[in-house]
Amino acid sequence: MRQIILDTETTGLEVSSGHRVIEIGCVEIVSRRLTGRVFHRHLNPDRDSDEAALAVHGLTRERLAREPRFPEVAAEFLDFVAGAELVIHNAAFDVGFLNAEIRRLKGEHPPIDNLCRVLDTLALAREIHPGQRNSLDALCKRYGVDNSRRELHGALIDARILADVYLAMTGGQSALELGESRPRRGANGAPSAPVVRNARPEGALRVIEPSVAELAAHEDFLARIAKASGGACFFRR
């Protein structure tokens, strides 16, 4: 399965106000393994960024003046993502902005969500962690993903961080497969200890049933989760 982890930076929050995409960052994953292929472009938006957006990404109009405009990179970008599943945090935002850029091409290309399936990791995180903070920074802390380079937001940096978060959130294991040439590293970038597999003893697996008190405590905990999440308790499905 081919997936593209995607992030954008924009001049502001509202596409209806004429705000534009100024950076696209994509990281390719095939069968849950990072391939090393990326797509990364800064774009000239022909307008200023809002002050709030500028504080987030630091990309001034002057810095972007010599970069290509979206029509100059559109074919390359759409060819890179076509047919893949796009994995995006708060997908409605990025898809809305990208589709606005595509519409300015005057019908040459279909909307991006017609070319690709879209998986929203924010919606996925809210389902897995109801009632908790599920920003990218919060997920990094929860899953031990190093985001220390994220002083300012950047599309490629954020896509790479989201790739690590997504793999951890959906089961991980991408660095433990046979034939992996790179050393495994912990959240701080240091080499992690090798995995030691204990030998499983012979005989049937021992099953310990919960007590009545433990079942009651578990049910009380689920009730508190359901209350905090407005009824969206994954473990009661």
Query: Catalytic residue positions?
Result: 153
Measured distance CA(66)–CA(87) in Å, rounded: 29
| Residue closest to 119 by CA, chosen among 81, 150, 149, 152 | 81
- Torsion angle, alpha carbons of 46, 56, 39, 88, to 10: -110
3-state DSSP call for residue 37? strand
Strand, coil or helix: what is 70?
helix
Instruction: List the one residue out of 22, 108, 102 whose CA is nearest residue 68.
Output: 22
SS3 content of the chain, % helix, strand, coil (to 5): 40, 15, 45
Q: How far, in Å, CA of 82 to CA of 75, rounded?
A: 10
Distance CA 19, CA 50 (A): 9
Q: What is the rounded distance in angstroms from the CA atom of residue 166 to the CA atom of residue 160?
A: 10
**Two tokens, residue 172:** 């991980």
DSSP states of 107-148 as a string? SSS--HHHHSEEEEHHHHHHHHSTTS--SHHHHHHHHT---T
